[in-house]
Chains A and B, each alone.
Chain A
Amino acid sequence: MLLTLYKLMLIAILTGFLFSILLVVAGKYLKGKLAILSALVPLGLFVYFLQFSKRIANGEIISQTYEWVPSLGVNLGFTLDGISLIFTLMITGIGFLVFVYTAAYLKGHEYLDRFYGYLGIFMAAMLGVVLSDNIISLFVFWELTSISSFFLIGFNNKEEASRKSAILALAITGTGGLLLLAGVLILGNVAGTYSIAEMLSSKEVIADSAHYILIVLLIFGAAFTKSAQFPFHFWLPGAMKAPTPVSTYLHSATMVKAGVYLLMRFTPVLGSTELWNSTLIIVGATTMVYAAIHTIFRTDLKGILAYSTISALGILVFLIGLGTQDALLAACVFILVHALYKATLFLVTGIIDHETGTRDITALSGLRKVLLPVAIAGVLAAISNAGIPPSFGFLGKDLIYEATLHFGSSALILTVLAIVTNILLLYAGFLAGIKPFTGKLPAAFEKVHLPSFLMWLPPLILATLGIVIGVFPSIIQGALIQPAVTALGESGNEVQLKLWHGFNLILALSATTIGVGALLYFILKPSQKLEKGIAKLEFIAPQTIVEKFGVGFGKFSRFTTGIIQNGYLRYYVSVIILFLVLLTGYTLIQNTKYVIDYDSFSALTVYEVLTVLVMIVGILFTVFTKSRLAAVAAMGVVGLAISLIFVYYSAPDLAMTQFSIDTLTVILFVLVLYRLPKYLNFSDYKVRIKDGVLSLVFGALITVLALEVLSEPQGSQITDYYAENAYILAKGKNVVNVILVDFRGIDTFMEIAVLTIAAIGVFSLLKLRLTSKNRR
């Protein structure tokens, strides 16, 4: 039993959720020294997914399906192939290090358990995204990542900026989620299946369908918002308000990669069209250059890293857009390269922030003297980021250039764009990884001491990995990269990752990049002035536009809500009646026969006419009298007249009931009357005329309706049944009574219960004494 459970990916995905639920109960025990234990969860998952790598490397695709809502075609289908494996290992591997790091970073934090809970949910959701084969379940997990990241970004919920960033991020990624839902529903409808694996075979059907463009645009909308592509990029720098482990995990290594994952996953299904490729190239190129330029203007370490992350995501989208085997290979490699060095840089930044209390790059220098292991990690990451051999980053950059150089006619411009981006990224990486550690140590930082190894070991491990893989690329070549490229639909040439390609154009380009980048680093110094300069352009930034739209939308909502829910009962009633009159009236005018068959009506007698006249006078008096007592008395007269009508027309039981109830009501009214304020007319005559007209039209409508119904033949089998069986079955001769106490006995019983409740209510309202504390 345990062994089969162990094999189920569903359980693996649910582990994170279960862990979070467990924390609700056991959270307080985890806050102390046991916090480190929680890292066992991602570690276990990492090992679990790692054991599949051999089977994946052999070209196997592992899929498991569980029925969820089979009637809607929604199944929990999970597939582990090359792409998924890269992502799962990234999620769980970096997750493990982040979990460890957090234990020290947020040591003794009041809500440490809560933090781990959110992280656990996030990790599970992210695993769900990259493993789902069914696009509906992919959507569900996708939304869960948005929601859990909302809580993580807003973790310091006492700060306004933090809350604002969280809302902004949720608004953007949530909008993307809605687009994704629309996209997958249309896609599922067109393809006739919700399984991605099954869609692969109906690629032509999808591409030829009239909805193809819409599907692609919706999927793009989801991917671009999640992966912070221009012009939806601005939530990501804002999300840096989150504690650094969150920035590391969500906003460099995992969540923002979900958009990239989505594009990769759908490349074999939707890709290889003009729309798909051109859009991705344009958006990706814009984003990578735009964000890379932005890094020059930042002085906050996290700000620099945020923009360099956006730029890196731009590169990935750009590569997927190129769509050639070279490009897809480069994308697969670059995802790993970026995850390794960016996570390191973020963790390093976190340590600097934690120990020195500042992230201002202009103030930081010489920290190597006090934070040596951290400095090593930072420099190694910067090297990988810069693409200096023999790092893993060098490999990645080579592949990017190779992809752009071999892209037909526009090779030149694309390569130039890639070089510019890489130069600026190199600059950003040097700023974050090298600048804080070189130069003179300011006196203020002399007392800075190295934190617990739980904090500096994770970045060191990641940075070292970035070099080791660079030297020995065969570690990942067969196990990760080849299956991923195959899963992307490129089963052509065998992938060969090599550090040394010989002297060629690409090497020259690489050298240029490094040279110019390093030069830039020495010439250009980050300063507050530059940052202020770019702030002047804020008014046309997409963020400002979205925020203004948000404020305007809020105002509009309040305005309409104020009109619709104005709090005045009479307006609600007026609107309801008005619509009733208009709709029913329209139908009546269309269909009425306007024929009244007076012959079928019973003849009039004097006492009947008199009764009706008494009622009319009573009603008018009730409405127009200035005295409340008179109004109640007149209303009583109307009620008594009704009981007379019941008497005339063969309803003795009704007459009796109406008589007694009417009397009771009047008595009750008079009893409480003397306590009430003066009977006032609040409204002026204009309002009264308006209300009067509406009321009269309503009354006329009811009259016409009644006459209309009377002109139709009547037939009731129920009546015949009751009449025939009243005595035979129920031994009663008064049929009305028999119905009430026998045929519909349960109903009457319920009615008694209702009356009892009303009676209890009346009694308690009369007896209730407000204590002085409750009374104003």
Chain B
Amino acid sequence: MEFLLAILIGLLYASGLYMMLRRSLVKLIIGLILLGNGANLLIFLLGRITKGKPPIIPEESYNFLDAYADPVPQALILTAIVISFGLQSFAIVLIKRAYKVVKTDDLDQMNSTDEFS
């Protein structure tokens, strides 16, 4: 499964980058989201994946008795997901706003700071 996941992560990165290289602003954000998902999965995979053993200490015990999934990458990814949501929501609303002013979705027509107020 690790092998499959590694390829999947590569695919997520590739598609994310490809979308970011498009001229459309919407595609840029979709690309960003795909790239972010890829990064999250990469961290998850590199923390080693364990099946069926969530990092939760069993009832009536103070400690793990068994093997358990690594909680540190999970905590990291959780933070990353939430932060990237902040970024995405802001970016999405920003596109909407930018379109209202500039009337285009084409990045090439947005590379001047002076023309639009």
- Which A residues are closer than 8 A to B by beta carbons? 567-570, 573-574, 577, 596, 598, 600-604, 608-609, 612, 615-616, 619-620, 622-623, 628, 631-632, 635, 638-639, 642, 645-646, 648-654, 657-658, 661, 664-665, 668-669, 672, 675-677, 679-680, 682-683, 691-692, 694-696, 698-703, 706-707, 709-710, 714, 716, 718-719, 722-724, 726-728, 733-736, 739-740, 744, 747-748, 751, 754-755, 757-759, 761-762, 765-766, 768, 770, 774-776
A to B CB contacts below 8 Å, 9 in the list: A573-B21, A622-B15, A649-B51, A650-B53, A654-B44, A675-B96, A699-B10, A723-B63, A734-B55
Are A706 and B46 neighbours in the complex by a CB distance under 8 Å? yes
Are B75 and A740 neighbours in the complex by a CB distance under 8 Å? yes
Cα–Cα distance between A703 and B6 once the two chains are bound (Å): 5
Cα–Cα distance between A638 and B104 once the two chains are bound (Å): 28
Contact partner of B18 (CB less than 8 A), chosen from A596, A691, A724, A735, is A691
**Additional A-B contact list (19), CB under 8 Å, known A657-B78, A679-B26:** A620-B15, A622-B19, A623-B15, A623-B19, A631-B27, A650-B49, A654-B78, A669-B92, A672-B92, A675-B99, A676-B96, A680-B106, A691-B17, A695-B17, A695-B21, A706-B6, A719-B71, A736-B74, A739-B72
Are A724 and B23 neighbours in the complex by a CB distance under 8 Å? no
Are A762 and B90 neighbours in the complex by a CB distance under 8 Å? yes
Contact partner of A602 (CB less than 8 A), chosen from B19, B49, B101, is B49
Are B34 and A622 neighbours in the complex by a CB distance under 8 Å? yes
Q: A635-B34, A758-B87, A775-B117 are in contact. Are A653 and B74 (CB under 8 A)?
A: yes
Are A702 and B78 neighbours in the complex by a CB distance under 8 Å? no
Closest 3 CB pairs of A and B: A699-B14, A703-B10, A758-B86
Contact partner of B11 (CB less than 8 A), chosen from A631, A699, A770, A776, is A699
- B81-117 contacts to A (CB < 8 Å): 81-83, 85-90, 92-97, 99-101, 103-108, 111-112, 116-117
By a CB distance below 8 angstroms, the chain A residues around B103 are: 677
By a CB distance below 8 angstroms, the chain B residues around A775 are: 101, 117
Residue of A nearest to B4 (CB): A612
Contact partner of B34 (CB less than 8 A), chosen from A619, A691, A735, A736, is A619
Are B93 and A740 neighbours in the complex by a CB distance under 8 Å? no
Q: A619-B11, A733-B56 are in contact. Are A722 and B71 (CB under 8 A)?
A: yes
- Which B residues are closer than 8 A to A by beta carbons? 1-15, 17-24, 26-28, 30, 33-34, 37-38, 40-42, 44-46, 48-59, 62-64, 68-72, 74-75, 77-79, 81-83, 85-90, 92-97, 99-101, 103-108, 111-112, 116-117
Are B93 and A604 neighbours in the complex by a CB distance under 8 Å? no
Contact partner of B45 (CB less than 8 A), chosen from A608, A638, A699, A710, is A710
Q: How close is B88's CB to chain A, nearest CB, in angstroms?
A: 5
Are A736 and B51 neighbours in the complex by a CB distance under 8 Å? no
Residue of B nearest to A748 (CB): B79
Q: A612-B8, A675-B99 are in contact. Are A683 and B54 (CB under 8 A)?
A: no
Q: A574-B21, A726-B57, A734-B56 are in contact. Are A677 and B104 (CB under 8 A)?
A: yes
Are B79 and A751 neighbours in the complex by a CB distance under 8 Å? yes
Cα–Cα distance between A733 and B78 once the two chains are bound (Å): 17
Cα–Cα distance between A600 and B30 once the two chains are bound (Å): 34
Q: A722-B72, A739-B75 are in contact. Are A682 and B22 (CB under 8 A)?
A: yes
Contact partner of A570 (CB less than 8 A), chosen from B23, B54, B62, B83, is B23
Q: A602-B49, A698-B17, A751-B82 are in contact. Are A650 and B92 (CB under 8 A)?
A: no
Are A724 and B48 neighbours in the complex by a CB distance under 8 Å? no
Q: A568-B107, A774-B117 are in contact. Are A652 and B81 (CB under 8 A)?
A: no
Contact partner of A735 (CB less than 8 A), chosen from B52, B55, B85, B88, is B55
Q: A596-B3, A695-B21, A727-B63 are in contact. Are A652 and B54 (CB under 8 A)?
A: yes
